[in-house]
Structure 1
Amino acid sequence: MATPLSADALLSALRKEGVSVVEHAGWRTNNRNHKGSWGPVNGVIIHHTVTFGTTATVSLCFNGRSDLPGPLCHGVIAKDGTVHLVGNGRANHAGSGDGDVLEAVIAERATLPAPDENDTDGNVHFYGFECVNLGDGKDPWPEVQLDAMARASAALCRAHGWTAASVIGHKEWTSAKIDPRGFTMADFRARVSQLLGEQPTETTPAKPAHQPFPGAAWFKKNPKSPVITAMGKRLVAEGCSAYTEGPGPQWTDADRASYAKWQRRRGYTGTAADGWPGAKSWAALKVPYTKEI
């Protein structure tokens, strides 16, 4: 927990870490502080932009959109490794996330809980870097860009006395996001840790963020499991509910009817939208991890 860095301190920290920085006009006062608190800060969130091209991306992140005013982060990290500063203060980048994750970041725990409840305003607590990438899992991450991302993260950790455990991905903050794609956050934190000179520690393997597909046959065994409840809640959140009561642990015809709605939403028809979950539609639903099957 810390007081946010001033614009000068942020710029100095990045340059001391060996980062190439471009200051865009007006970045020092570009913020959303009039909409809510900025700080205490607790960590750094890494995003991918789902855009290409530095100029257009920087403009978008500085100005925002009609439905989401800028700044959309504090810095844009281009493919060439340059960090473009676009905001200083509260930014619309993290959104709502899981308070349990925030507690884990504050405690600098080696493993994070899977995000579930989006009950905490992350724009208060996190610096954000938007990193130029299409986010399709295919667009490459140049080494120079990954190095700059790690150095920018390490700069903030060093300035605040944090460890690499204070750096998380957007997908680790909220179940509603998948970014960044194309590398693991465990590998990324290892980069940051190396820059900070931290000693590696043995950790318990992290639980997956989302429930692995249990297999089609599992659902046809009339299961009673918290996985069914978690699935039902996601279907309700996606507007695909056929429930007359809240979803519960017992698989029922209402679960199947709700899942069929989800399959049709995904473009499936005929027997492919019969309400029995399949691997691809299940992965797209992003059911929070609940238990081992």
Structure 2
Amino acid sequence: MATPLTADTLVDALTAEGVRVVEYDDWRNHNRNTKGDWGPVNGVVIHHTVTSGTDSSVAYCYDGDADLPGPLCHGVIAKDGTVHLVGNGRANHAGRGDGDVLTAVINETALPVPNDEDTDGNTHFYGFECVNLGDGSDPWPEAQLEGIARVAAAICRTHGWHAASVIGHLEWTSRKIDPKGFSMASLRTRVAALLAGAPGASAAHYQPFPGAAFFTSAPRSTIVAAMGGRLVAEGCSAYTEGPGQQWSEADRASYAKWQRKLGYTGTDADGWPGTTSWNALKVPYTA
């Protein structure tokens, strides 16, 4: 059990863990504290939004609607891993769930299958909504998964909790399926690895893989320019000018050289970045 973090302490913890933080509107004074207790806090619940688009998702989670007023969480984690803080205090996110699950979270033991709704989760859990349609097809970019893990690790580290204090909404109540598209076991493994190291380890040094869709959308980004610089440094340049911020066929040809340098052949060396080759390239963090 723990006293909820203050707004300043939360921002400091997230920043120290290498998370990009956006403070939305009047989030520091936005809560549902008049409707019930906030704290003691015992863990973190991860959700998906069932929406697309960062701006609209953040606005909705801040405002809520007539049936469920906001804030609907404490922060919204975008596809690029940025957390947009929308609430400070009690939030309408977890709802009622199984008290046996809460006991397991407090004791950091194996979670039982939820079968009761006898406990108010909004009192006991920080909640983070992650931008995703929740249909099992909408991708979870590496940058977003890394952001989710770092947000959870930041809170756990500050409270002295371990990865077992992080659960999915589907683990709190049988009425929910979120988050859908990755396993909570894999997320807790990420959180545990982060907690085993120093706060923010490697976060400010290398750019997380932004996802395959990022490149196929032909982006204009500082990430592309930083990638090009590393390809040149590795002797894998196919550039006649640049590299620059706009993704081009020259970037793809250069990246294909890098893939071949790593030993990939055929369609595995088609110039479209993947997680393993990207991590090996060690692109400097830019955004």
Q: Which residue of 2 aligns with 1:271?
A: none
Which amino acid in structure 2 is aligned with residue 145 of structure 1? Q
Once residues 3 and 45 of structure 1 are traced to their aligned partners in structure 2, the CA distance between those partners, rounded to angstroms, is: 17
Q: Deviations over 1:196-238 (max 9, x none)?
A: 008xxxxxxxxxxxxxxxxxxxxxxxxxxxxxxxxxxxxxxxx
The SS at the match of 1:158 is: helix
Q: Which residue of 2 aligns with 1:175?
A: 174
The SS at the match of 2:129 is: strand
Once residues 186 and 5 of structure 1 are traced to their aligned partners in structure 2, the CA distance between those partners, rounded to angstroms, is: 25
Once residues 22 and 116 of structure 2 are traced to their aligned partners in structure 1, the CA distance between those partners, rounded to angstroms, is: 37
The SS at the match of 1:128 is: strand
Structure 2 residue 111 is matched with structure 1 residue 112: yes
User: TM-score if structure 1 supplies the norm length?
Assistant: 0.67
Once residues 193 and 11 of structure 1 are traced to their aligned partners in structure 2, the CA distance between those partners, rounded to angstroms, is: 21
Q: Which residue of 1 aligns with 2:43?
A: 43
Q: Which residue of 1 aligns with 2:90?
A: 90
The SS at the match of 1:175 is: coil
Q: Which residue of 1 aligns with 2:71?
A: 71
How far did 1:180 drift?
0.3
User: TM-score if structure 2 supplies the norm length?
Assistant: 0.68
Once residues 44 and 194 of structure 1 are traced to their aligned partners in structure 2, the CA distance between those partners, rounded to angstroms, is: 17
Q: Which residue of 2 aligns with 1:246?
A: none
Once residues 144 and 184 of structure 2 are traced to their aligned partners in structure 1, the CA distance between those partners, rounded to angstroms, is: 15
Structure 2 residue 120 is matched with structure 1 residue 121: yes
Once residues 66 and 12 of structure 2 are traced to their aligned partners in structure 1, the CA distance between those partners, rounded to angstroms, is: 32
Give the gaps of 5 or more residues in structure 1: 199-293
How far did 1:172 drift?
0.1
Q: Which residue of 2 aligns with 1:191?
A: 190
Q: Deviations over 1:233-286 (max 9, x none)?
A: xxxxxxxxxxxxxxxxxxxxxxxxxxxxxxxxxxxxxxxxxxxxxxxxxxxxxx
Q: Which residue of 1 aligns with 2:3?
A: 3
How far did 1:145 drift?
0.3
How far did 1:113 drift?
0.2
Q: Which residue of 2 aligns with 1:282?
A: none
Once residues 81 and 24 of structure 2 are traced to their aligned partners in structure 1, the CA distance between those partners, rounded to angstroms, is: 16
How far did 1:25 drift?
1.6
Once residues 51 and 24 of structure 2 are traced to their aligned partners in structure 1, the CA distance between those partners, rounded to angstroms, is: 19
Which amino acid in structure 2 is aligned with residue 166 of structure 1? S
Once residues 145 and 37 of structure 1 are traced to their aligned partners in structure 2, the CA distance between those partners, rounded to angstroms, is: 31
Once residues 25 and 62 of structure 2 are traced to their aligned partners in structure 1, the CA distance between those partners, rounded to angstroms, is: 10
Q: Which residue of 2 aligns with 1:213?
A: none
CA RMSD of aligned residues (A): 0.7
The SS at the match of 2:187 is: helix
Alignment of 1:146-157 (within 5 A): 146-157=145-156
| Number of equivalenced pairs | 197
How far did 1:123 drift?
0.1
Q: Which residue of 1 aligns with 2:274?
A: none
Q: Which residue of 2 aligns with 1:139?
A: 138
Once residues 107 and 154 of structure 1 are traced to their aligned partners in structure 2, the CA distance between those partners, rounded to angstroms, is: 17
Q: Which residue of 2 aligns with 1:58?
A: 58
How far did 1:64 drift?
0.4
Which amino acid in structure 2 is aligned with residue 38 of structure 1? W
Once residues 25 and 13 of structure 1 are traced to their aligned partners in structure 2, the CA distance between those partners, rounded to angstroms, is: 20
Once residues 130 and 24 of structure 1 are traced to their aligned partners in structure 2, the CA distance between those partners, rounded to angstroms, is: 14
Once residues 191 and 179 of structure 1 are traced to their aligned partners in structure 2, the CA distance between those partners, rounded to angstroms, is: 18
The SS at the match of 2:185 is: helix
Identical positions, percent: 72
Give the gaps of 5 or more residues in structure 2: 198-287
Structure 2 residue 33 is matched with structure 1 residue 22: no
Once residues 58 and 97 of structure 1 are traced to their aligned partners in structure 2, the CA distance between those partners, rounded to angstroms, is: 25
Once residues 83 and 100 of structure 2 are traced to their aligned partners in structure 1, the CA distance between those partners, rounded to angstroms, is: 30
Which amino acid in structure 2 is aligned with residue 77 of structure 1? I
Which amino acid in structure 1 is aligned with residue 168 of structure 2? G
